[in-house]
Amino acid sequence: MERRHYRPTYHASIPSGWCNDPNGMIYYNGKSHLYFQHYPYAAHWGTMHWGHFTTDDFIKWELQPVAIRPDQDYEVICGCCSGNAVEKDGRLYIMYTAAQPDRQRQCLAWSEDGGITFTKEPSNPILTAEMLSEQVSTRDFRDPKIIVRDGWYYCLAGTRIIDPALPQPSPRAYASNMSGANTADLVHHARLMINPSDPNGDVLGGMIDLGWGNLILFRSRDLYHWEFLGRCLYRQPGFSEHYYTLNGVYECPDIFTSNGKDVIISSPQNLPQMGNSYQNQHSVVYIPGKMNWETGRFTMDSINELDAGFDVYAPQCMTMPDGRIIMIAWKEMWDRTMPMTEDGWGGTYTLPREVEFKNGRLYQNPVREIKNYRQNKVEAGAMTLKDGSLQVKGVEGDIIELDVTFRPLDCRTLGVRFFKGTEHETVLTFNAEDSTVVFDRTNSGVPIYGVEVNTNTRTCDIDETDRIRFHIFLDQCSAEVFINDGRFAMTGNVFPDAEDTGVEFFCTGGSCEIESIVKYDIIVE
């Protein structure tokens, strides 16, 4: 079998080195910018730089020079970690976390040339935990996201809250957390980088403050002087205690308003599994509710897993001039093997998604610009399938968009097999009995290992099951599945062989109707 070429064709990807979180997504100077966590020198996490892409349509990405490097003493070891970009008086500013293993502080830099090069503010770091509140952990205070609102710059960041009135995680739990490869914590990254053979070794004094993960809101008139407003997550009836006693950080927060609803997005580390949700070691949640912009207190309507698949982390959103909210995430998960690192690069991003809050959920759909890259349409439909499977001539490929709508009738399961060859297949199954969709990569190809007991199947509870629409985007080594018009999403990386291009529809235990099948090749020249 031919070894698969791992590089995606219509997703942002770097030619070499390492990338993780999207940073500072902004529409500025006539272009969309995506900065990102980057280590240019090897295909593993290292002292962070900010890489930079620009795009006119979210599909074709132009790699720009590295935007900022860790060249200051306050950035030693962990470097310039995640943050965000904001326009102020026509100038592009970024705020990022200067991280050392035992200390995280916020810094500013600005660009005079449209976002290509940056000057770091001489008085950096401009903001420390101590300046805000003694509740804010000095060791975990990161990933600032700035929002402009009513003449203020508001900033949302992840931290651990040091509040003597709150029960604290035990040092033992914390220490054991640090000792295995089971955390995305910066201390862990740094330990591995400094001494890969001794991930428990001491790094700059190591562990100090404990505290449970939370989000904090603060504000400023000028980006330099900040006022602490408060922590966002408070106990509310009906929510699991796990959300308030997170032994980790709510990383990479974001907040936007969609159809009148405030929505927080964040990536909690080590959130325990609850039912079928949060099966990954680290998760992404969206929380619709209401922000109190004076106190930071967020009244939550619900908390939901953003993507029920395997590989979505640290999403960030930007608002376009036409009002669309566009979200992009790191299409990987910490503490997993990443087969593409064999080729000297590591890290991919999701297809940018248009997000909208409606009917009680955050709908996600691929950016509409993808339609400009459709070719070779094949259509079929209006057929009944009874206990069996079928293939449709011309419906195949590994760089395709596949849109299929089923009506379950009396069957037990129905679904699609894709990336299918003689030895491999990736399977998406709707189970009528319990209204779930299962994404199964057990036999997809090169196995992926992680710290979770199960790295091969993920289950999504869905509602509205009269009609099941799977809108699937394959790009050689990944599948992004938008279920029922984007009401649910499941994303997974898989590493099949180059020959694994088959697509097959199936149904068991009765019959289903296939209303329509549409396939396009996605071709980016």
Closest approach, Cβ 252 to ligand FRU, in A, equals 6
Q: Which two tokens stand for residue 380?
A: 């079929």
Cα 289 to Cα 303: distance, rounded to the nearest angstrom: 9
Closest approach, Cβ 267 to ligand FRU, in A, equals 6
The one among 75, 102, 143, 332 contacting ligand FRU by CB under 6 A: 143
Closest approach, Cβ 68 to ligand FRU, in A, equals 13
Long-range contacts, 412-415 (Cβ 8 Å, 24+): 412/508, 412/509, 412/510, 413/506, 413/507, 413/508, 413/509, 414/385, 414/468, 414/505, 414/506, 414/507, 414/508, 414/512, 415/470, 415/505, 415/506, 415/507
Q: Which two tokens stand for residue 483?
A: 């279920």
Closest approach, Cβ 417 to ligand FRU, in A, equals 32
Residue of 173, 489, 88, 519 lying closest to 310 (CA atoms): 489
The one among 82, 135, 266, 431 contacting ligand FRU by CB under 6 A: 82
The one among 94, 232, 252, 507 contacting ligand FRU by CB under 6 A: 252
**Binding status of residue 21 toward ligand FRU by CB under 6 A:** yes
Closest approach, Cβ 259 to ligand FRU, in A, equals 29
Cα 27 to Cα 34: distance, rounded to the nearest angstrom: 9
The one among 92, 217, 314, 367 contacting ligand FRU by CB under 6 A: 314
Closest approach, Cβ 204 to ligand FRU, in A, equals 16
Alpha helices (runs of H) in 180-214, residue ranges in sequence order: 186-194
The one among 97, 100, 350, 508 contacting ligand FRU by CB under 6 A: 97
Site for ligand FRU in 170-229 (CB under 6 A): 184, 186
**Binding status of residue 102 toward ligand FRU by CB under 6 A:** no
In terms of CB distance, is 100 or 508 closer to ligand FRU? 100
**Binding status of residue 81 toward ligand FRU by CB under 6 A:** yes
Would you say 66 and 40 are in contact if contact means Cβ atoms under 8 Å apart?
yes
In terms of CB distance, is 21 or 354 closer to ligand FRU? 21
Residue of 422, 415, 426, 407 lying closest to 475 (CA atoms): 426
Residue 261-300 contact track with ligand FRU, rule CB under 6 A, x = bound? ----------------------------------------
Query: Sheet harboring 17-28: ordered strands across?
Result: 61-68, 49-55, 31-39, 17-28, 345-346
CA quadruple 49, 50, 52, 58: dihedral positive or negative?
A: positive
The one among 13, 32, 37, 270 contacting ligand FRU by CB under 6 A: 37
Cα 245 to Cα 255: distance, rounded to the nearest angstrom: 21
Residue of 152, 129, 79 lying closest to 249 (CA atoms): 129
Closest approach, Cβ 477 to ligand FRU, in A, equals 20
In terms of CB distance, is 20 or 491 closer to ligand FRU? 20
In terms of CB distance, is 21 or 75 closer to ligand FRU? 21
Closest approach, Cβ 257 to ligand FRU, in A, equals 24
Residue of 286, 287, 285 lying closest to 297 (CA atoms): 287
Which of helix, strand or coil describes residue 187?
A: helix
Closest approach, Cβ 416 to ligand FRU, in A, equals 31
Strand partners, 517: 380, 404
In terms of CB distance, is 251 or 307 closer to ligand FRU? 251
Q: DSSP for 382-445, please give it.
A: EEEEEEEEE--TT---SEEEEEEEEE-TT-SEEEEEEEE-SS--EEEEEETTTTEEEEE-TTSS
Cα 273 to Cα 463: distance, rounded to the nearest angstrom: 20
In terms of CB distance, is 4 or 231 closer to ligand FRU? 231
Query: Count of residues binding ligand FRU (CB under 6 A)?
Result: 15
In terms of CB distance, is 84 or 444 closer to ligand FRU? 84
Closest approach, Cβ 465 to ligand FRU, in A, equals 34
Q: Which two tokens stand for residue 319?
A: 């608002």
In terms of CB distance, is 142 or 487 closer to ligand FRU? 142
Which of helix, strand or coil describes residue 188?
A: helix
**Binding status of residue 85 toward ligand FRU by CB under 6 A:** no
**Binding status of residue 255 toward ligand FRU by CB under 6 A:** no
In terms of CB distance, is 19 or 395 closer to ligand FRU? 19
Closest approach, Cβ 87 to ligand FRU, in A, equals 22
Would you say 290 and 300 are in contact if contact means Cβ atoms under 8 Å apart?
no
In terms of CB distance, is 214 or 484 closer to ligand FRU? 214
The one among 75, 209, 251, 307 contacting ligand FRU by CB under 6 A: 251
Closest approach, Cβ 120 to ligand FRU, in A, equals 17
The one among 48, 285, 326, 404 contacting ligand FRU by CB under 6 A: 48
Residue of 153, 150, 40 lying closest to 106 (CA atoms): 153
In terms of CB distance, is 81 or 392 closer to ligand FRU? 81
The one among 10, 11, 17, 20 contacting ligand FRU by CB under 6 A: 20
Cα 87 to Cα 372: distance, rounded to the nearest angstrom: 30
Site for ligand FRU in 428-467 (CB under 6 A): none
Closest approach, Cβ 358 to ligand FRU, in A, equals 29
User: Which amino acid belongs to residue 87?
Assistant: E
- Phi and psi of 143, rounded to 5°? 65, 55
- Phi and psi of 40, rounded to 5°? -75, -15
Closest approach, Cβ 334 to ligand FRU, in A, equals 7
**Which residues would be at the binding site for ligand FRU (CB under 6 A)?**
20-21, 37, 48, 81-82, 97, 142-143, 184, 186, 251-252, 313-314
